[in-house]
Amino acid sequence: MFKNLSLRIRIFLAMILLVLLASVLILGVTIYQYDEQTKDYNISRFARKEKSVISSIEFELKRELREPLSTEMLGKIFQNRIYEIASTHKLNITIFDLEGNLILTSNTINSFDTSKEELALSGQVLEDLETLPSQRVFSNVVINSISHETSYTYITDLKFRRIGVLELKFSQDNSEEEKELREFMIRLAYVYLFMLILAIALAYFLSSYITRSIKTISQKIHETRLNKRNEKIEFKSGSTEISTLVNAYNRMIDELQESAVKLAQSEREQAWREMAKQVAHEIKNPLTPMRLSVQSFERKFDPEDPNIKEKLKEFSQTLIQQIDVMSSIASAFSDFAKMPTQKREKIDVVAVVKLALDIFNENFISYSFTDDSLIANLDKTQLIRIVTNLITNATQAVEQVQNPKIEVLVSSENDTIKIAVTDNGKGIDDAVKDLIFEPKFTTKTSGMGLGLPIIKKIIEANNGSINFVSSKEKGTTFTVTLPKT
């Protein structure tokens, strides 16, 4: 589906998608960065508290220099002090022995509600303390926007001997930070909405600007024709790619113009060659019987023959008849070569068509009209010639039909007059329909095939048109359309 879209729409959608993708990525990175910063802040804050608590514990242990320190003494040393330290640093402090058994805790809730056995350290924590190089176990868990940090370290005496395990727990409520994040995201959403609207407008104008040149070139290419003079594209400014495309189009126009000139010259030469061949062929047809007649007369000529005058008259008539044929051939080609001079006048088309039909005696020709009088500014002689030619062709088409019928209809439509000639003859083959108006083409055994081309030239000279519809063995209808003025 995307392939069927225009280049302008593709550019427009691509720019909008790019802005949306960038907005989503920035939004994702912002949330991720916030989470990381909050997490790092909580961890660093806990680390500072942890360092301060350890310093306080070490300070308390140094005060007991009068006797050797042991695990059993931790409960006595920090029995009251642990609450002060926990309150000062706002965290929970728990002290275990080296086997993980509870010695003392500042968490009064757990100390009253839970037995010492339930508060004992897990074996995994003790194992991790033993194996980790830092001898420190740390965990960070976020539950319902509250970050819980917990650390486990050894408590040592002044000679760095382990005498216990210190557990520190700190809980940080992040709901305020999340509220600030939501407010920031709302403000950012407004910014993104404004950017999206701006991007849509910018994408629309930018895509229009980019495709304007291409659209101009496309329109020029669409209007390019071989048989007309094509204009080059002139661009005062444009990108390198557009300039290259324009230059290529202009070079194509130059080459097309040269090809059109060569093609026109070739077509004219070919037309003259075909015309010369046709003229030569048509002239040879009467020359052959003329030659035979002269030769026959030369052999049989006898001055003493009492019927010499009749034979001479017969010979002369034969020559004159063939000369008339040659003259008609010359006239036909002359009529086709030049357009007859028009003598326009206001005529009644209905009456003129009836006058043209009067020379035909066939009773199967019918004439009808929609108006009693249709006035048009046309050449009367040329109109008669058009109708006569069409009727002649129609009568020849129905020669082999059992019940021949030819209908002539004159009608008016807006500012035009239509003359339709319909027959029920043999029709026109589909293979030759495109050749009907071609010079010297004919489906008849006689004639030069110039009748329809000549009347077509006459009709087009009067700004009219001629067309036909035909069905094999059903008949043909020729329709001539001529303007009234």
Going by pLDDT thresholds of 50, 70 and 90, the confidence category of residue 406 is: very high
Longest dimension (CA), the chain: 185
- 142 versus 402: the higher-pLDDT residue is 402
382 contact partners, CB below 8 Å, separation of at least 6: 340, 342, 458, 462
Q: What is the pLDDT of residue 428?
A: 86
pLDDT digits (tens, 9 = 90+) for 199-212: 888 877 777 776 67
pLDDT digits (tens, 9 = 90+) for 33-43: 888 888 888 78
Distances (CA, A) of 299 to 156, 287, 293: 157, 18, 10
Going by pLDDT thresholds of 50, 70 and 90, the confidence category of residue 421 is: very high
Cα gap 318→32, rounded to integer Å: 113
Q: Specify the CATH number for 2-180; select among 3.30.1010.10, 3.40.50.150, 3.90.440.10, 3.30.450.20.
A: 3.30.450.20
CA neighbor of 395 nearest in space, from 302, 476, 313: 476
- Compute CA 152 distance to the chain's CA centroid, rounded to the nearest angstrom: 68
- 262 versus 198: the higher-pLDDT residue is 198
Q: What is the pLDDT of residue 476?
A: 93
56 contact partners, CB below 8 Å, separation of at least 6: 85, 88
Average pLDDT, the chain: 79
* DSSP letter for each residue of 237-272: S--HHHHHHHHHHHHHHHHHHHHHHHHHHHHHHHHH
* Residue 46 pLDDT > 50: yes
- 56 versus 325: the higher-pLDDT residue is 56
Beta strands (DSSP E) in 91-213 are 92-96, 102-105, 136-143, 146-156, 162-173
Taking residues 301-320, report their average pLDDT: 74
**Angle CA(303)–CA(305)–CA(310) in degrees, nearest 5?**
100
Cα gap 41→28, rounded to integer Å: 20
Distances (CA, A) of 256 to 52, 225, 252, 350, 398: 91, 9, 6, 48, 47
Percentage of residues in the chain having pLDDT higher than 90: 12
- 167 versus 237: the higher-pLDDT residue is 167
Residue 156 near residue 165 (C-beta atoms within 8 A): no
CA-based radius of gyration for the chain: 56
* Residue 197 pLDDT > 90: no
- 421 versus 85: the higher-pLDDT residue is 421
Give residue for tokens 């728990």: 94
Q: Which of 108-112, 152-156, 320-324 has the lowest mean pLDDT?
A: 108-112
Q: Which of 44-58, 70-84, 440-454 has the lowest mean pLDDT?
A: 440-454
CA neighbor of 385 nearest in space, from 470, 462, 485: 462
Structure tokens of 347? 């005529």
* Residue 170 pLDDT > 80: yes
Which residue ranges make up each domain of the chain? Answer: 2-180, 225-338, 344-483
Neighbouring CB atoms inside 10 A of 304's CB total 5
Question: What SS3 state is found at 444?
Answer: coil
Where does residue 101 rank: exposed (0-12), middle (13-18), buried (19+ CB within 10 A)?
middle
Going by pLDDT thresholds of 50, 70 and 90, the confidence category of residue 149 is: confident
Residue 116 near residue 97 (C-beta atoms within 8 A): no
Cα gap 191→163, rounded to integer Å: 59
Residue 171 near residue 45 (C-beta atoms within 8 A): no
Residue 227 near residue 54 (C-beta atoms within 8 A): no
Taking residues 78-84, report their average pLDDT: 85
pLDDT digits (tens, 9 = 90+) for 365-375: 999 999 999 99
Q: What is the pLDDT of residue 445?
A: 42
Going by pLDDT thresholds of 50, 70 and 90, the confidence category of residue 112 is: very low
pLDDT digits (tens, 9 = 90+) for 267-284: 666 766 666 666 666 666
Q: What is the pLDDT of residue 446?
A: 45
Cα gap 331→189, rounded to integer Å: 88
CATH domain 344-483 topology: Heat Shock Protein 90 (3.30.565)
pLDDT digits (tens, 9 = 90+) for 96-107: 988 888 888 887
Structure tokens of 15? 């720019």
Structure tokens of 112? 């009253």
- 477 versus 129: the higher-pLDDT residue is 477
Cα gap 462→386, rounded to integer Å: 12
* Residue 450 pLDDT > 80: no
Q: Provide the whole-model pTM.
A: 0.38
* Residue 408 pLDDT > 80: yes
